[in-house]
Amino acid sequence: MLKIGEFSKLSRISIRMLRHYDEAGILKPQSVDSVTGYRFYGEQQLLHACKIQTLRQMGFGVNAIGEILSHYHDIDAQEAYLQAQKEYLLQKQEILKGQLRLLDSTMEWFRKGGINMGYEVTLKTLPKHYVISVRDVIPSYSVEGLLWETLHREMQAQNIPQNQSAMHMTVFYDGEYRESDVDIAVQLTTTSLMNVKLPLRSEELPEVTYAGVVFRGPYEQITQVTMAIANWVAEHGYDWDGNYFMIYHVSPAETENPAEYVTEFCCPVKKKK
């Protein structure tokens, strides 16, 4: 039998956490002195403590650990728990990468004085053009890639060739920034109208004048880009005039390095009367 302090040293779990695990029911002492209240553990419990520590290091919470340990001899159940945790951690990793990129771009923004941060706003006209597109409401902006997958899959299934010089664009139809349920369309330019089946659409779109910024690097800097455009619009006497859109000159489909992205953020405008 080991006193709680001895067991703490051998298991490398603090006394505070051992008491917490006792209360949670995942690692109870083998016996408790009825007079002094001292907790005693058996040497064989060290293996159980090791399992708990390993799961904690994987990021599982106490409740999840209790659930996993109750299925410890079910290999399939164990694998399912671990796979779910892996997917969760990968999602967190992507979020952290995005936050780090935002920190870098914001520090650069501060160094360059804020507001325009060297972004060059240009007034351009996109001529009348034809597109093939998929439009849908998706859970969030971050899963836009799902629509691109649908677009390319359907084009292949309907035997529609892709023009190698086609522009890749996304149009945002919501009248506000949304945390979820985002209404967007992904588009490829084509040389003419095409005979397609849903969910594909073939459209002729009118000429549009827009204030745009071409920027290099991750998408987390879009807030600074929109600030630069808003400042330009106010200074040059323009009004907003339609749904903003993005043109992907170098996208995630062409590089896995966000630093190599080249994107054009476009806001349709018209001259104030």
Q: What would the pLDDT profile of 183-217 be if each residue is shown by its tens digit?
A: 999 999 999 999 999 999 999 999 999 999 999 88
Tokens describing residue 265: 């953020």
- Would you report the helix, strand and coil content of the chain in percent, each value rounded to 5? 40, 25, 35
Q: Beta partners for 39?
A: 32
Q: How crowded is the C-beta side of 211, counted as CA atoms within 13 Å?
A: 23
Paired tokens of 33: 């002195």
Q: Could you identify the residue written with the tokens 């892996």?
A: 86
Percentage, residues of the chain above pLDDT 70: 95
Residue located via tokens 């990793």 = 93
Could you report the per-residue pLDDT of 212-228, keeping only the tens digit for each? Answer: 999 988 887 888 888 88
Helices (H) and strands (E) in the chain — how many of each? 7, 12
- Look at residues 141, 127, 192 and name the one whose alpha carbon lies nearest to residue 163: 192
Residue 144 is predicted with a pLDDT of 92
98 vs 135: which has the higher pLDDT: 135
Contact 212, 264 (CB under 8 A): yes
Residue 121 pLDDT grade (very low, low, confident, very high; cuts 50, 70, 90): very high
Measured distance CA(187)–CA(183) in Å, rounded: 14
